[in-house]
Amino acid sequence: MKDLLIGTSNPGKLREYEELLAGLPLRLMSLKDVGLDTMEVAEDADTLEANASLKALAYARASRLLTLADDTGLFVDALGGAPGVYPARYGGPGLTMAQRRHRLLGELTGVPDAQRTARFVCVIALGVGDEVTQVRGVCEGRIAPVDDEGGEGFGYDAIFIPQGYTVSWSHVPMAEKNRISHRGQAAQAILPTLRGLVKG
């Protein structure tokens, strides 16, 4: 069993990766598990690829563990691509995720359903020493008219309706979400690299 550090303190994200990587002989750990939950990594690059790599390499060096980190963006066409690369900062500092979702929905007031197209993009970076491997996953969809706060999920899940669905991510079963989501697609793309490292 090989240790894999997931570069997050978010229990929801850790659970997703436990599902996504369940077929591999890996023991997943969070930043909190290895005492790095207070370590700050400046995510100041302007691309998802660069920010994911910054985190993966910084946590890999600090922990001396194989480390997977991701960076996710939400790109809403009617808002010129906002929130973009910085969804967790949308609306300014000090806001809760519920407040950020409310702000985004407010910006889309009056925008018809057909023009509320958006996509989640996830870039996974796998850090091994000073080397990094990157993959990308994209999920097309649209922004819901209201915040659907029930169900599971985190972040913007409650206001994102994936293409082909009539409900938000919050009400899509986890196994189904992992199959088609941006993070699920990226995780599938990184599996061959992880399998090679586990065998090695």
Question: In Å, what is the CA distance from 139 to each residue of 61, 106, 119, 187?
Answer: 31, 23, 5, 13
77 is catalytic: no
Taking the C-alpha atoms of residue 190 and residue 75, their distance in angstroms, rounded to an integer, is: 23
> pLDDT tens, position by position, for the chain (200 residues)?
899 999 999 888 898 899 999 989 999 999 999 999 999 898 888 999 999 999 999 999 999 999 999 999 999 999 999 999 999 889 999 999 999 999 999 999 999 999 999 999 999 999 988 899 999 999 999 999 998 876 666 789 999 999 999 999 999 998 898 888 999 999 999 999 999 988 86
Query: Is the distance from CB of 71 to CB of 51 less than 8 angstroms?
Result: yes
Taking the C-alpha atoms of residue 72 and residue 104, their distance in angstroms, rounded to an integer, is: 17
Taking the C-alpha atoms of residue 190 and residue 198, their distance in angstroms, rounded to an integer, is: 13
Query: Phi-psi region for residue 155, left (φ > 0), alpha (ψ -120 to 50) or beta?
Result: left
Backbone angles phi, psi at 2, to 5 degrees: -100, 140
Task: Look at residue 200 in the predicted model and tell me its pLDDT.
Answer: 60
Go through the domains of the chain in sequence order and give each one's CATH number.
Answer: 2-199 (3.90.950.10)
Q: Which residues, listed in sequence order, are joined to residue 75 by a DSSP beta bridge?
A: 83, 119
> How would you write the chain as a 3-class SS string?
CEEEEECCCCHHHHHHHHHHCCCCCEEEECCCCCCCCCCCCCCCCCCHHHHHHHHHHHHHHHHCCCEEEEEEEEEEHHHCCCEECCHHHCCCCCCCHHHHHHHHHHHCCCCCHHHCEEEEEEEEEEEECCEEEEEEEEEEEEECCCCCCCCCCCCCHHHEEECCCCCCHHHCCHHHHHHHCHHHHHHHHHHHHHHHHHHC
Among 33, 37, 71, 130, the active-site one is: 71
Statement: the pTM of the whole predicted model exceeds 0.85: yes
Task: Look at residue 1 in the predicted model and tell me its pLDDT.
Answer: 84
